[in-house]
Amino acid sequence: MSFPRYEKYKDSGVEWLGEVPEHWDLRRLGHHFIERRQKVSDRDYAPLSVTKNGIVPQLETAAKTDDGDNRKRVCAGDFVINSRSDRKGSSGLSPYDGSVSLISTVLDPRGIVGEFAHQLLRSIPFQEEFYRFGKGIVADLWSTNYSEMKNISLAIPLPKEQTAIAAFLDRETAKIDALVAEQDRLVALLTEKRQAVISHAVTKGLNPDAPMKDSGIEWLGEVPEHWGVAALNYRYEVALGKMLDEKRITGEHLAPYLRNADVQWGYIKTDDLPEMDFKDADLERYSLKPGDLLVCEGGDVGRAAIWRGELRECYYQKALHRLRPTSAASDAADFLYYALYGSAKSGRFTAMEGKSTIAHLTAEALRRYYFIFPPLEEQQAIAAYLDHETARLDALTKEAERGIELLKERRAALISAAVTGKIDVRGLAMEE
């Protein structure tokens, strides 16, 4: 949908604003807002969090401070913005009385409609201008104080027009947000479907008419009669990588090694790997061969990927387990990868030994974890089927995620255009 423009424009003389409607008033931010600097205690004023979704009661994940006069007072109707550049976009009109961290700037609107200010000061062009005024000693982290912020030029229409613009944006962004929520639900359903397809294939197989037997394992239930059930160490060697000791790196045999973060679900990042010494005694013990499975010990416990020989020489750190078939076993790495995925995503690794959560998947625990092993040809057939099905579901997920991205881009562009006068929405504010 295209929107009309105003009849007449003038040059604002300000780069971030460009041309603005002729009747809009150009003044500095300090004309429209007064900084609220009162220090208070969160014992007397409920703590609030400044997020990208606006001002909300303090989040459970927020860093807590000691009691004392170490907060800034916020009154309902104030606009609050986090002054740090690494919190870009964290701001909003507060619906609450309360207090925020001293790193935030609290503004009391004067002669400007709060709902319009909420849209204007959260728009991407303003956010970029706000942080451009900042100062700091670190290249990618700086703060913008009110002393700099108050000098930012704004173009503001009369209050009635501000109200019309805010009403239009409330209605239109609500429509876009509803579409985004629909796509988010679709992504969640596709993710659940992907996990269910994998879990069923690696525990029940592809033949719905196959005779079944009791696996003897409560969470598995019945499995195809001809499948084997065994602890992992009966078929795979499980070995932790080398402990990093930076003091002992001499440069005698420097070689790249993988860390936990380099192993993602289904792929391994090999660009810009660190290096450490691997002496002759280490080469076989910590080396990687095509077909080895790497499993994360901590973090996203159980996350796994297959090493396919991406580098001629590469090793791995202690944060990873290397799974390699024993000489007597004949298994497909791709099948075990999917089995690991099903177990990790269902939370079974983090519920082992009766614990609700565990920080690490130890080698001992992984070795005694039971998996189902079909004959090799069936493992390969299941892996091929899952390659096809997960690729199809992943394509649908990417399409939905791209739709979300486009909707969010449209939302941001619409807000920016309306609050800077690039489109005239006065006649659309009351339309249904």
pLDDT in tens, 407-421: 999 999 999 999 999
Looking at every residue in the chain, the average pLDDT score rounds to 90
Residue 354: Cβ-neighbour burial (10 angstroms; 0-12, 13-18, 19+): exposed
Q: Which amino acid would we find at residue 145?
A: N
Domain region containing 34: 25-156
- Distance from C-alpha of 74 to C-alpha of 325, rounded to nearest angstrom: 62
What percentage of residues in the chain have a pLDDT greater than 70? 92
pLDDT per residue as tens digits for the range 69-84: 789 999 999 999 999 8
pLDDT per residue as tens digits for the range 169-190: 999 999 999 999 999 999 999 9
Tell me, yes or no, whether 245 and 357 share the same domain. yes
Judge whether 301 lies within some domain: yes
Looking at residues 286-296, what average pLDDT do you find? Answer: 94
Judge whether 129 lies within some domain: yes
Q: What is the pLDDT of residue 173?
A: 97
Q: What is the pLDDT of residue 76?
A: 97
Tell me, yes or no, whether 232 and 354 share the same domain. yes
Q: Is the pLDDT of residue 353 over 60?
A: no
Find how far residue 227's CA is from the centre of its chain.
Answer: 39
Tell me, yes or no, whether 239 and 148 share the same domain. no
Q: How many residues does the chain have?
A: 432
Tell me, yes or no, whether 129 and 253 share the same domain. no
- Backbone dihedral region for residue 77 (phi beyond 0: left; psi -120 to 50: alpha; all else: beta): left
Split at pLDDT 50, 70, 90, the class of 356 is: very low
Tell me, yes or no, whether 140 and 257 share the same domain. no
Residues forming beta bridges with residue 315, ordered by sequence position? 257, 287
Looking at residues 142-160, what average pLDDT do you find? Answer: 93
Judge whether 427 lies within some domain: no
Q: Which amino acid would we find at residue 340?
A: L
- Distance from C-alpha of 50 to C-alpha of 322, rounded to nearest angstrom: 43
Tokens of 91: 């701001």
Tell me, yes or no, whether 147 and 233 share the same domain. no
pLDDT per residue as tens digits for the range 203-240: 999 999 999 999 988 888 899 999 999 999 999 999 99
Domain count, the chain: 2
Judge whether 147 lies within some domain: yes
CB 49 within 8 A of CB 57: yes
Residues forming beta bridges with residue 324, ordered by sequence position? 237
Judge whether 271 lies within some domain: yes
Tokens of 143: 């703060």
CB 6 within 8 A of CB 22: yes
Tell me, yes or no, whether 32 and 112 share the same domain. yes
> Tokens 């790249």 label which residue?
256
Looking at residues 32-43, what average pLDDT do you find? Answer: 94
Look up the pTM and report it: 0.84
End-of-domain residue from the set 327, 357, 373? 373
Judge whether 421 lies within some domain: no
Judge whether 145 lies within some domain: yes
Split at pLDDT 50, 70, 90, the class of 254 is: confident
End-of-domain residue from the set 156, 191, 212? 156
Q: Kindly report which listed range (56-70, 146-160, 314-328) carries the lowest average pLDDT score.
A: 56-70
Q: Is the pLDDT of residue 429 over 80?
A: no
CB 180 within 8 A of CB 404: yes
Per residue, the 3-state secondary structure of the chain, as one string, reads: CCCCCCCCEEECCCCCCCEEECCCEEEEHHHHEEECCCEECCCCCCEEEEECCEEEECCCCCCCCCCCCCEEEECCCCEEEECEHHHCCCEEECCCCEEEECCEEEEEECCCCHHHHHHHHHCHHHHHHHHHCCEEEECCEEECCHHHHCCCEEEECCHHHHHHHHHHHHHHHHHHHHHHHHHHHHHHHHHHHHHHHHHHHHHHCCCCCCCEEECCCCCCCEEECCCEEEEHHHCEEEEECECCCHHHCCCCCEEEEECHHHEECCEECCCCCCEEECCHHHHCCCECCCCCEEEECECCCCCEEECCCCCCCCEEECCEEEEEECCCCCCCHHHHHHHHHHHHHCCCHHHHHHCCCCCECCHHHHHCCEEEECCHHHHHHHHHHHHHHHHHHHHHHHHHHHHHHHHHHHHHHHHHHHHCCCCCCHHHCCCC
Q: Is the pLDDT of residue 247 over 70?
A: no
Tell me, yes or no, whether 241 and 150 share the same domain. no
> Tokens 């009766």 label which residue?
354
Judge whether 165 lies within some domain: no
Domain containing 366 — which CATH number? 3.90.220.20
Q: Is the pLDDT of residue 422 over 70?
A: yes
Looking at residues 262-290, what average pLDDT do you find? Answer: 90
Residue 209: Cβ-neighbour burial (10 angstroms; 0-12, 13-18, 19+): exposed
Split at pLDDT 50, 70, 90, the class of 382 is: very high
Positive or negative, the CA dihedral 278, 295, 377, 327 is positive
Q: Kindly report which listed range (114-123, 136-145, 331-340) carries the lowest average pLDDT score.
A: 136-145
Q: Kindly report which listed range (312-321, 332-341, 343-352, 376-385) carries the lowest average pLDDT score.
A: 343-352
End-of-domain residue from the set 322, 342, 373? 373
Split at pLDDT 50, 70, 90, the class of 63 is: low
Tell me, yes or no, whether 368 and 255 share the same domain. yes
